[in-house]
Structure 1
Amino acid sequence: MAESWQPTLEQVADHIPTRTRDANAPSSDTMLATFNGSTTPTDEQATRHIKAAVVEVLGAVGGTIPATPAFLAGLASEAAALRAAADIELAYPDRVADVSVFEQLDQRAKDVLQRLIDAINDQGSGPEGSLLPVWAMPEPVWYGDYPL
């Protein structure tokens, strides 16, 4: 079942518009702004990358995106779209520069995913969020409470 925030083909294509050229008209520079049966990758192949990216995002945040606040779904969608775009660039390289594009998209995907994780962790932790200290003490040794 698809998540409500799963990015569309168009959202992924916004990050890699040159991948949306019609392969049936190689001399054309017109970009379709989405994937279809005549692009490389096809819409079916791009959808598989999107689904894999959604699974990665869900795995990173513990399996679910909270319904509130609403911006979390947008962050999750953007993280998945960037991850899918990076994976597509790496899977279908046309030139050496595509590896550089992958590295940039990959870093952006990691940054957005980290912002999503931070936002989920900060949710409900008060106005200061993660700025509050967290105290942790080690377990006392067995002889610590032993009367000598």
Structure 2
Amino acid sequence: MAESWTPTLEQVADHIPTRTRPTEPPGTDTLLGTFNGQTTPTAEQANRQITAAVAEVLAAVGGTIPAAPPHLATLASEAAALRAAASIELAYPDRQADVNVYEQLNARAIAALQRLIDAVNDAGSGPEGALMPVWAFPDPPRHGDYPL
């Protein structure tokens, strides 16, 4: 079952627009903005990368994205889109520059995933989340219980 926040082909293509050039006619500079049967990768191949990226995001956050607050779904979708875009760049390199693009996309995907993990962890912590201090003190020593 696909998650409601699963990124679309267009959302992934937004991160790697040059991958949406059609293969026919050769040498065209037209960018389609999505993947289809004429692009490399095809829509089917890109969807497999998206499915893997969604599974990776779910694994990182414990298997589910909470319904509230609603911005978590947006963060999850962006993290999965970046992960899928990075995976596509690594899976279909045409030149060394594609590997460099992968490294940049991978760094962005890692940062987006960490933002999502932090937001999920903070979701039940009130409006300030992790910014609120948590105080903890050790038990007093035995001599601290006696009046002096």
Q: State if a TM-score over 0.5 links the two structures.
A: yes
List 4+ stretches of structure 1 deviating above 4 A.
134-137
Secondary structure in structure 1 of the residue aligned to 2:67: coil
Structure 2 CA distance for aligned equivalents of residues 26 and 135 of structure 1: 66
Stretches of structure 2 lacking an aligned partner (at least 5 in a row): 139-148
User: Whole-Å Cα distance in 1 between the matches of residues 126 and 71 of structure 2?
Assistant: 17
Taking the TM superposition and a 5 Å limit, the aligned residue runs for 1:49-60 are 49-60=49-60
Gaps in structure 1 of 5+ consecutive residues: 138-148
Structure 2 CA distance for aligned equivalents of residues 14 and 41 of structure 1: 14
* Structure-1 residue corresponding to 2:37: 37
Q: Does 1:75 align with 2:75?
A: yes
Give the aligned partner of residue 128 of structure 2. 128
Cα displacement (A) at 1:135: 4.5
| AA matched with 1:56 | E
Distance across 2 between alignment mates of 1:98 and 1:133: 45
Alpha-carbon displacement from aligned partner over 1:42-74 (angstroms, at most 9, x marks no partner): 000000000000000000000000011111000
Question: Alpha carbons of 1:136 and 1:79: their partners in 2 closer, same or farther (altered >3 Å)?
Answer: farther
| CA 1:94–1:77: 2 relative to 1, 3 Å | same
| SS, match of residue 115 in structure 1 | helix
Within 2, Cα distance between the matches of 1:119 and 1:66? 10
* Range moving further from structure 2, 17-26 or 122-131: 122-131
Tell me the residue number matched to 2:118.
Answer: 118
User: What count of residue pairs does the alignment treat as equivalent?
Assistant: 137
Name the SS for the 2:37 alignment partner: coil
Separation in 1, partners of 2:111, 2:105: 10
